[in-house]
A and B are shown apart, each in its own frame.
Chain A
Amino acid sequence: MKKSISVVVIAALFAVVSAFAGKVKNQVQTWNVDHPFQGSPGIYFLSATQVKMFYCPGANNVECAYLVGSMGTIIKKPN
């Protein structure tokens, strides 16, 4: 007999993924802020959300900051 996955199980999986994603998003890491909108460039120990909010707000156009130890993880700001 073919059984479909219950919507409740899908919701449970989504919840776990969202909680982990939220944790990663709010994790405090070391960021090198190259071209901040405000403040001076330098190394900041903040979460990605905080860096985006405080130093690189707005649309994602040009590089603003990158994660120290992982050059591929960048935060952008408008032109």
Chain B
Amino acid sequence: MKKNTIVEVISAVLVFLFIYAAVSKLLDFDKFKYQISQSPFITNISRFVVWAIPIGELLISVALIVRRTRSAGLYSAFFLMLLFTGYIFIMLRYSPYLPCSCGGVLSGMSWKQHFVFNLAFTGLSLSGIVIQDMDSRKSRGKNTLTGMKLNT
């Protein structure tokens, strides 16, 4: 399979995840707002977080869809997934109680399952970055060689 195709498939999976999660949150916005406000570590910034998360997810999806910004989209997806995974880790370890703040099918998962799920998607976005980077380095190398041939 071509590296480009692998990056395309990884981007598609991430886009599905982010758009599904964002739209589910926006469709059930009141529930999501309530759940976020119940979260012990982000209660003070919950007003900002309730909008920032779905909007951020949609923006990253757009970046992943557009070919020119795909690389930036993959980096953003990786950092967002890392942030979510870190949040779940802190919640599991240090929070006195565990509220739910997930949308759609994802709400059926336990916090531990969600942690593993997020970890897998963090790994997926990281592998997307690595493959994309390898591919662009290879094509840059090819261009340099072509340029050298043309110059001689």
Contact = CB atoms under 8 A, between A and B. Distances in A.
Interface of A: 6-12, 14-16, 18-20, 22-23
Contacts of B82: none
Interface stretch (B21-29, B84-92, B144-152): B21-29
Interface string B12-47: 110111111001100110000000000000000000
Interface of B: 8-9, 11-13, 15-20, 23-24, 27-28, 61, 64-65, 67, 103-105
A22 B27 CA distance: 10
Contact of A11 (B16, B27, B103): B16
Contact of B15 (A11, A18, A23): A11
B8 A23 contact: no
A22 B11 contact: no
A7 B104 contact: no
B8 A18 contact: no
A55 B66 CA distance: 47
Contacts of B103: 19
Contacts of B17: 15
Contact of B24 (A6, A9, A10, A19): A19
Contacts of A23: 24, 27-28, 104
A8 B7 CA distance: 10
- Rank and list the top 4 A-B pairs by shortest CB-CB distance, nearest first: A15-B19, A19-B23, A11-B12, A15-B20
Contact of A15 (B8, B11, B16): B16
